[in-house]
Structure 1
Amino acid sequence: MPKAIIVCKSVSHGNTRKVAAVIGEVLGARVVDPADIQASDLTGYDLVGFGSGIFTGHFHQELREFVRSLPSGQAGAAFVFATSGFPDSGLTRFSRPLVKLVEEKGFRVIGTFSCRAFDTFAPFAIAGGIRKGRPDATDLDAARTFATTLRTRPATS
């Protein structure tokens, strides 16, 4: 199994942290906030995960800034994950820009994962939010399955 770490920004409802914890458990990975890690701390990991909730169609600014701060020439594999009130699909796939940025830093992205999550972004806050109760057990099982597939993919090529 590759040596893994997960860089996760979870703020509003703890949804993304729940998903990160499940993925981390399967991979035997430590989950850290971008503010609590330096770029040099990623040295020695075969697999690095990057995840956050989605805010107006984008990953959390602090996570994006952390990835931008990484020096080019990173080695190893990476994955990207998110929680959102809406699916990561169609022309507005919110994962694409972060995947591209991670790849520009030298990582080989071997997978992406997203699931629905409780969302109280305005105007949904007026109605008490959408996707209440998400991520649920089915979502967390899907995250577990995703993590299991990461273990079987080669971290280097």
Structure 2
Amino acid sequence: MKTAIVYYSRHHGNTKKLLDAIATVDNVTLIDVTKHSAYSLSEFDLIGFASGIYYQKFSKKVLDFAKSNLPFNKKVFFIYTCGIKFHFYTKAIRAVVSGKNADIVGEYGCPGFDTFGPFKIVGGIRKGRPNEKDIARAVQFFRRISK
């Protein structure tokens, strides 16, 4: 199955750590939205959207990329890292891909080191995350949905 993952990973590179591990076990095309505002996704069977969480949702760059570049009727999945885990972080990206009649096959989220806002004062939260277990779980998640 030909797979692409569109991502935004800034501050500490938390999300990119997960994607790099996935890319070592499978032939995945990683698309950094800071380098590509447009990219043809029509040749891919499975498309992932990955981001750290910013103001309780995926990066605006990922959301805008999905709106502009996701073809209709694709299988999609989500990966994210966050300082504090809540269950609504994929609400905005789900709305975007649902508008493209996408088949959402799963999501994986895990803690990531976070120094945003007041967390900076205390030296951040979730130090050392994602850790090896988080990364291994991300790889397992990907293997399960890409079969």
Common fold by TM > 0.5: yes
Q: Which residue of structure 2 lines up, in the alignment, with residue 22 of structure 1?
A: 21
Q: Which residue of structure 2 lines up, in the alignment, with residue 48 of structure 1?
A: 47
Q: Which residue of structure 2 lines up, in the alignment, with residue 155 of structure 1?
A: none
- The superposition leaves residues 17-65 of structure 1 with CA deviations (integer Å, 9 ceiling, x where unpaired) of 1111222333420111124346551011000000110012111111111
**Identical residues among aligned pairs (%):** 33
Cα distance change on mapping 1:140 and 1:133 into 2, 3 Å: same
1:116 aligns with one of 111, 114, 120: 111
Count of residue pairs the alignment pairs up: 147
C-alpha deviation, 1:15, in angstroms: 0.5
Which runs of 5 or more structure 1 residues have no equivalent in the other structure? 153-157
Q: Distance in 1 between matches of 2:15 and 2:3?
A: 17
C-alpha deviation, 1:104, in angstroms: 1.2
SS in structure 2 opposite 1:105? coil
Q: Which residue of structure 1 lines up, in the alignment, with residue 68 of structure 2?
A: 69
Q: Is the 8 A contact 2:80 2:110 kept in 1?
A: yes
SS in structure 2 opposite 1:42? coil
- Which amino acid is the alignment partner of residue 106 of structure 1? N
Q: Distance in 2 between matches of 1:107 and 1:25?
A: 26
C-alpha deviation, 1:76, in angstroms: 2.3
1:85 aligns with one of 83, 86, 99: 83
- The TM-score normalised by the length of structure 2 is 0.92
Q: Is the 8 A contact 1:78 1:109 kept in 2?
A: yes
1:134 aligns with one of 129, 133, 144: 129
Q: Is the 8 A contact 2:41 2:69 kept in 1?
A: no
Cα distance change on mapping 1:39 and 1:105 into 2, 3 Å: farther
RMSD: 1.6
